[in-house]
């Protein structure tokens, strides 16, 4: 388990965290990239939208290996959200907007993604 303060500087530790996982489970380059991008997006969203940069709140990361899958769970201490209400960034009115692509990227890069605890937790699955 990894606990991070709700500060965007916390994202700097994610690369070495993912590198350790890649080395331990001998994960290929494609999954490595998908995992790093998805985890970075999930933690950024947790810090920004979940905990609103409140450094008294933490973002918790848990990792579990299940047969041929790595499950990474990112939880924040915010109010949660409904992922079905996130605007589609591929719609014409959203194409030129800054931001709003994190959930979309995670959905495309993970083999499976689930939102739990009223949107305060995202669980991302990667086949290895």
Say which CATH number the domain at 11 has. 3.30.565.10
Q: What does the pLDDT read at residue 11?
A: 96
Closest to 77 in 3D by CA, of 36, 37, 113, 117: 117
Task: Specify the pairing of strand 121-127 against strand 112-116.
Answer: antiparallel
Which one has a higher pLDDT value, 99 or 106? 106
Q: CA dihedral defined by 4, 73, 116, 50, rounded to 10 degrees?
A: 20
Residues 30-43: tens digit of each pLDDT = 999 999 999 999 99
Mean pLDDT, the chain, integer = 93
Helix (H, G, I), strand (E, B) or coil at 4: strand
Residues 6+ apart with CB under 8 A from 22: 32, 35
Query: Is residue 91 predicted with pLDDT exceeding 90?
Result: no
Average pLDDT over residues 90-102: 74
What residues make up the domain containing 120? Answer: 2-127
Distance CA 72, CA 77 (A): 17
Strand ranges of the sheet holding 69-75, from the earlier edge strand across to the other edge: 2-5, 58-66, 69-75, 121-127, 112-116
Average pLDDT over residues 46-51: 97
Closest to 39 in 3D by CA, of 52, 24, 57, 21: 21
Q: Is the pTM of this model over 0.85?
A: yes
Q: What does the pLDDT read at residue 94?
A: 67
Domain count, the chain: 1
Query: Is residue 106 predicted with pLDDT exceeding 80?
Result: yes
Query: Is residue 113 predicted with pLDDT exceeding 90?
Result: yes
């Amino acid at each position: 388990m990894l606990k991070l303060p709700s500060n965007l500087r916390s994202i700097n530790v994610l690369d070495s965290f993912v590198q350790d996982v890649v080395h331990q489970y001998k994960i290929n380059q494609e999954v490595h990239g998908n995992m790093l991008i998805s985890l970075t997006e999930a933690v950024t969203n947790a810090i920004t939208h979940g905990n609103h940069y409140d450094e008294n709140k933490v973002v918790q990361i848990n990792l579990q290996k299940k047969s041929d899958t790595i499950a990474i769970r990112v939880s924040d201490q915010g109010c949660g959200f409904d992922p079905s209400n996130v605007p589609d960034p591929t719609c014409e009115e959203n194409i030129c907007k800054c931001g709003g692509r994190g959930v979309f990227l995670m959905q495309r890069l993970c083999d499976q993604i689930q939102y739990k605890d009223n949107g305060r937790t995202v669980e991302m699955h990667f086949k290895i």
